C-alpha cells in the first residue's frame, strides 16, 4: 500500500497469539490513500466492525454480529492451527461455528430450545485453544446424553463453518470491486501519531523500493539491501551517513506535518532544469544517463521530489536557520576556520559592474529560485535586501540587470 500498488484489500484473518494483529491505523492509512478495504470472517470482521464509520466495508454474518453488538469477544473467531507445512490445518473450533451449529440444531429439532443456552455457555467456558470437537462432545454429553452425541456430530458438518463462508464472500467482494471506484469520500484526516511513525520505521527496513515498483532496475534488490547495510556501517559518509539520513528523515517528517508536497508539475519542471544543466537534451540521452547511473525513473523522481521538499523547508525556516550558524561554527572547529567568509565575495573579475556581480550570484546553481532580489535575500536568510546587497558589496541602486536574471530563473 505504501508503495502505491494496492487499490483493493481484503482482510480476513491473522495469526492469533503469535503475530501482531492488524492495526486500526493501518486500515485508516489504506483508506486515506484511496484504497477500498473489505473485512469479514475473523479478524477482518472485528476490524470492519470497529472501523466501519471510517469507510471499511464489512462482509458476512460474523461481521454483522460484531457490528450489531451481538458479539464482542475476540475468542469468538480465534482458533489454533498448524503451520504452513501442514496446510494451516485447523485444530480447534471457533465460537461462531458453535453458535451457527447450535442454532441449526435447534431448528432441525436435535437440540431442545430450553437447552440451547446451556450448550452455548458450556462451549464458551472452554478456552479457545482447547475447544475441539472432542472436548465439546464431552461437555455436551455431560449436560445431556440424549442430545449431546447427536448434536456433536451434526455440528461438525461443513455448512456451519461461517468463517469459511464469510472468507469466501470477502474474496468475491475483492474480485468484483472496481479499483477506480475507491472508498467512500472520507470526511476525516488520519493523524500520523508517534506510534504510527514508529510502526512505519520498523516495517520499512530496508528502505529499498520493492522490485515491482522499479521497472528497468539494473541493481537487484539483494544488492540494494547490501548497499543499505554497508551505509549503516559508515555513519560518517557524507551522502549516506547518519547526519544525511537524519536530515532526510526530518525533511520528510516536517513536510508531512506542514502539508508540504511538491506537485507533479513542480517535479517535471525541476527535472527539465536538471536535464538542461546536465546536457540531456532528449529522451534518448536521458535514458542513457539513467542507465549509466543505474537509476530508474521512479528513483530519480523521488530524489527530485526530496530536493524540492528540502528547498521548501529551507525557505520556510530561512530566518530561523540563520541563527544556527554560530553553533555550526563551533561544531566545525571554531571561528578561526571560517574567518575567510567575512572577506568580500569574489564573484567576478575585479572591476566588473555591480549588475554583473549580482548576475553571477543569482545564477549560481546552488541558489534558490526567486522572482525578485528581495525574495532571494529572504530565502537565503538575510533580514533585508539592504543587508544582502551590503554583504555582496553592491550599490542598491544598480540591481535591475540581476533582477531580470532572477525573474528568468523563477518557476513559471
User: Distance between CA atoms of 16 and 81, rounded to whole angstroms?
Assistant: 10
Q: What is the pLDDT of residue 16?
A: 65
Helix (H, G, I), strand (E, B) or coil at 236: coil
- Between CA 40 and CA 154 the distance in angstroms is 25
Confidence (pLDDT) at 138: 93
Instruction: Establish how many alpha carbons lie within 13 A of residue 178's alpha carbon, considering only the half-sphere containing its beta carbon.
Output: 3
Task: Identify the three-state secondary structure at position 9.
Answer: strand
How many CB atoms are located within 10 Å of the residue 91 CB?
13
Note the pLDDT of residue 212: 40
Do residues 161 and 93 lie in contact, with contact meaning Cβ atoms separated by under 8 Å?
no
Q: Give the residue extent of every domain in the chain.
A: 8-80+164-181, 92-156, 205-316, 335-409
What's the pLDDT score for residue 180? Answer: 64
Question: So what's the pLDDT on residue 363?
Answer: 74
**Ramachandran assignment for 177, one of left (phi > 0), alpha (psi -120 to 50 degrees), beta (any other):** beta
Q: Which residue's C-alpha cell is 532572477?
A: 406
Q: Can you give the pTM of this predicted structure?
A: 0.53
pLDDT at 17: 63
Nearest CA-CA partner of 171 in 47, 13, 312: 13
Q: H or E stretch including 57?
A: strand 57-59
Each residue's pLDDT, cut to its tens digit, for the chain (412 residues) gives 554 567 899 999 887 666 778 888 989 988 888 889 999 999 999 999 999 988 899 999 999 999 999 999 988 998 888 877 888 888 999 999 999 999 999 999 999 999 999 999 999 999 998 999 999 999 999 988 889 999 999 999 999 999 999 999 999 999 998 866 665 566 778 877 877 777 776 665 445 444 344 555 677 777 888 888 899 999 999 899 999 999 999 999 899 888 888 888 889 888 888 888 888 888 889 889 988 998 888 888 899 999 999 989 988 898 889 999 999 999 988 999 888 888 766 555 455 666 677 777 777 777 877 777 888 888 888 888 888 888 887 766 655 545 555 544 544 3
Element holding 39 (H helix, E strand): strand 36-40
Residue 181 to residue 186: CA distance in whole angstroms: 13
> How far, in Å, CA of 123 to CA of 25, rounded?
33
CA dist., res. 337 & res. 360, Å (int):
26
Pair 110, 144: CB distance under 8 Å: no
Exposure letters 202-237 (e unless 16+ CB within 10 A, then b): eeeeeebbeeeebeebeeeeeebeeeeeebeeeeee
Amino acid at each position: 500500500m505504501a508503495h502505491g500498488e494496492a487499490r483493493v484489500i481484503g482482510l480476513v484473518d491473522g495469526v492469533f497469539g503469535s503475530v501482531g494483529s492488524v492495526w486500526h491505523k493501518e486500515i485508516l492509512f489504506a483508506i486515506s490513500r484511496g484504497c477500498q478495504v473489505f473485512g469479514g470472517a475473523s479478524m477482518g470482521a472485528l476490524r470492519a466492525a470497529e472501523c466501519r464509520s471510517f469507510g471499511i466495508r464489512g462482509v458476512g454474518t460474523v461481521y454483522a454480529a460484531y457490528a450489531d453488538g451481538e458479539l464482542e469477544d475476540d475468542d469468538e473467531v480465534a482458533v489454533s492451527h498448524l503451520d504452513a507445512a501442514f496446510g494451516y490445518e485447523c485444530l480447534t473450533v471457533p465460537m461462531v461455528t458453535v453458535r451457527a451449529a447450535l442454532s441449526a440444531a435447534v431448528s432441525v429439532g436435535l437440540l431442545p430450545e430450553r437447552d440451547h443456552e446451556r450448550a452455548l455457555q458450556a462451549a464458551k467456558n472452554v478456552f479457545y485453544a482447547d475447544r475441539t470437537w472432542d472436548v465439546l462432545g464431552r461437555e455436551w454429553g455431560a449436560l445431556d446424553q440424549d442430545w449431546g452425541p447427536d448434536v456433536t456430530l451434526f455440528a461438525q458438518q461443513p455448512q456451519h463453518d461461517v468463517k469459511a463462508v464469510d472468507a469466501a464472500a470477502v474474496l468475491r467482494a475483492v474480485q468484483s470491486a472496481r479499483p477506480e471506484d475507491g472508498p467512500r469520500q472520507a470526511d476525516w484526516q488520519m493523524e500520523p501519531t508517534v506510534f504510527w511513525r514508529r510502526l512505519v520505521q520498523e516495517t520499512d527496513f530496508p528502505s529499498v523500493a520493492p522490485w515491482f515498483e522499479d521497472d528497468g532496475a539494473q541493481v537487484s534488490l539483494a544488492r540494494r539491501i547490501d548497499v543499505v547495510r554497508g551505509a549503516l556501517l559508515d555513519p560518517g559518509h557524507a551522502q549516506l551517513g547518519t547526519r544525511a539520513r537524519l536530515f532526510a528523515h526530518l525533511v520528510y517528517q516536517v513536510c508531512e506535518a506542514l502539508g508540504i508536497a511538491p506537485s507533479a508539475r513542480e517535479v517535471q519542471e525541476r527535472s527539465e532544469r536538471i536535464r538542461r544543466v546536465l546536457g540531456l537534451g532528449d529522451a534518448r540521452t536521458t535514458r542513457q544517463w539513467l542507465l549509466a547511473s543505474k537509476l530508474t525513473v521512479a528513483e530519480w523522481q523521488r530524489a527530485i521530489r526530496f530536493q524540492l521538499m528540502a528547498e521548501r523547508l529551507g525557505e520556510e525556516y530561512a530566518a530561523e536557520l540563520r541563527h544556527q550558524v554560530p553553533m555550526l561554527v563551533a561544531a566545525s572547529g571554531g571561528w578561526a576556520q571560517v574567518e575567510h567568509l567575512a572577506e568580500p565575495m569574489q564573484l567576478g573579475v575585479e572591476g566588473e559592474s555591480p549588475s554583473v556581480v549580482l548576475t553571477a550570484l543569482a545564477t549560481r546553481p546552488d541558489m534558490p529560485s526567486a522572482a525578485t532580489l528581495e525574495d532571494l535575500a529572504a530565502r537565503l536568510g538575510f533580514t533585508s535586501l539592504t543587508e544582502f546587497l551590503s554583504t555582496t558589496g553592491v550599490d542598491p541602486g544598480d540591481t535591475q540587470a540581476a533582477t531580470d536574471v532572477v525573474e528568468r530563473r523563477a518557476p513559471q
